[in-house]
Amino acid sequence: MEAWATAYDAQSIAVLGTAFDLAQSVYGRRLTSYGQPLFEHVLGVAGVIGSLHLDYQAMAAVLVAHVLESEALSAEELEQRLGPDVLRLVQGVSRMDQVHRGGMDVTLDEGRREPVNQAESLRKMLLAMAEDIRVVLIILAEQVQLLRALVKSTHPMRQRAAQEAQEIFAPLANRLGIWQVKWELEDLALRILEPELYKRMARLLDERRVDREDYIGLVTGILRAELGRAGIAGEVTGRPKHIYSIWRKMKLKHLDFDQVYDVRAVRVLVDDVKDCYTVLGIVHGLWQPIPGEFDDYISHPKANDYRSLHTAVIGPEGKALEVQIRTHEMHRHAEFGVAAHWRYKEGAKASQGFDEKIAWLRQILAWKDEVAEAGADATEWV
Ligand code: AMP
Ligand code: MG
């Protein structure tokens, strides 16, 4: 994730300063349940919150999230110092923590764990989101920080935390469309639960994540320049596929690593269908297509009405590269419509009301990102 990128005004910075000092003095040398200094933990969470471009109130709430527990300070005093919104967020987060703990009555049965009650936890979190989406985003940020710390420790709670990340928090992030949280949770959980497998996959990749991000940056740069030369207004994004997703694909489709062509992938969004085919021509002119990997889901939409052009080519440095090309309208449909990404991936059926609510929340998040990105140097595949 990128560094703190959100710009705050002077008044926000003053509130953050107060929250920082308060947290530091109240927490002292207290440790979290997994053994990290509490102050370090909240700073880590604040870092994740910054990379999600959340506002200063969410950031302040994260810093002081545990001061009420210590009873060093009353709710009224906290409100006086940081304002009613920050207090409400702190209370919302601690309520959610209770829901989370209470909702997961996991019994240890001869070393085997009962599956966590995913549906019930998701439902409760959805209810909390209706009140203030920031509460759920803070919970997700806490989970990222928790796993980042646990992956480096031998604390006994790491197994359970990783399992919850896989079964509850990553699916939640997926449904909210916060892909940078989803991938990190999934990869950290895999690293904890299947360390050998994770190492094997990392060896197969033979390139660090930052290198793969740089590669995507190189390819999107080339494509943007070529689109400009052809006079096509297109939006180019991309991402390196994360380790968990590569492994899942290999397993589900019985593929060897070399047969996974979307390890490095980009997507071009254009205005109309004609432009889709023009861009396809440009891509195949730049890089050699890999035989048998072209799919025209525009002339032949998938059963769920998904429409897009997919191709795989030999990109720069001789590396396989997937390119998806579609109109903005097709993309909206794929992301928010009946062919919503998470649904076809999970093969689940969901109720109409649930989907609508999620679609609405995702649009709000996308809008928030646009606002934040206008002034910040954000990663381009968020
Ligand atoms: P996956 O790699 O399939 O697990 O997808 C992870 C994320 O990458 C999702 O948000 C996808 O929408 C996104 N994604 C998948 N393929 C591409 C692509 N060709 N270009 C850009 N983003 C993609
Ligand atoms: Mg893919």
- Ligand 1 pocket: which of 180, 267, 343, 382 to mutate (most atoms <8 Å of CB)? 267
- End-to-end alpha carbon distance in the chain: 10
**CA 291 remoteness from chain centre:** 32
- Ligand 1 pocket: which of 239, 268, 309 to mutate (most atoms <8 Å of CB)? 239
Average of per-residue pLDDT across 94-120? 54
Share of the chain residues as helix, strand and coil, in percent rounded to the nearest 5:
60, 10, 30
pLDDT at 380: 25
pLDDT at 333 over 90: no
pLDDT at 118: 61
CA-proximal residue: ligand 1, atom 15 (nearest) = 265
CA of 239 from ligand 1 middle (Å) equals 7
- What is the C-alpha separation between 69 and 91, in angstroms, rounded? 11
Under 8 Å between Cβ of 16 and 6: no
Pocket of ligand 1 from Cβ distances under 6 Å = 179, 237-239, 241, 245, 262, 265-267, 322, 324, 341, 381
Ligand 1 atom showing the smallest separation from residue 241 Cα: 2
pLDDT band at 125 (very low <50, low <70, confident <90, very high): low
* pLDDT single digits (tens) 173-190: 887 778 899 999 999 999
Lowest-confidence region among 7-11, 46-50, 192-196: 7-11
pLDDT at 362: 59
pTM: 0.81
- Concatenate the DSSP letters of all residues of 147-169 into one string: HHHHTTS--TTHHHHHHHIIIII
Exposure string of 274-312, with b = 16+ CB inside 10 Å and e = fewer, is ebbbbbbebbeebbeeeeeeeeebbeeeeeeebbbbbbb
Ligand sitting nearest the alpha carbon of 324: 1
DSSP state of 3: P
Average of per-residue pLDDT across 206-219? 94
Ligand sitting nearest the alpha carbon of 265: 1
- Check residues 62 and 378 and name the one with the higher pLDDT: 62
Under 8 Å between Cβ of 266 and 316: no
Under 8 Å between Cβ of 72 and 26: yes
Under 8 Å between Cβ of 19 and 86: yes
* pLDDT single digits (tens) 287-298: 999 999 999 999
- Classified as helix, coil or strand, 207 is coil
CA-proximal residue: ligand 1, atom 8 (nearest) = 239
CA-based nearest residue to 340, from 328, 325, 350, 326: 350
CA-based nearest residue to 249, from 168, 257, 194: 257
Q: Which H or E element spans position 311?
A: strand 309-314
pLDDT band at 334 (very low <50, low <70, confident <90, very high): confident
pLDDT band at 133 (very low <50, low <70, confident <90, very high): confident
pLDDT at 28 over 60: yes
The amino acid sitting at 93 is: V
Ligand 1 atom showing the smallest separation from residue 248 Cα: 4
* pLDDT single digits (tens) 272-286: 999 999 999 999 999
- What is the C-alpha separation between 218 and 204, in angstroms, rounded? 22
Ligand 1 atom showing the smallest separation from residue 177 Cα: 10
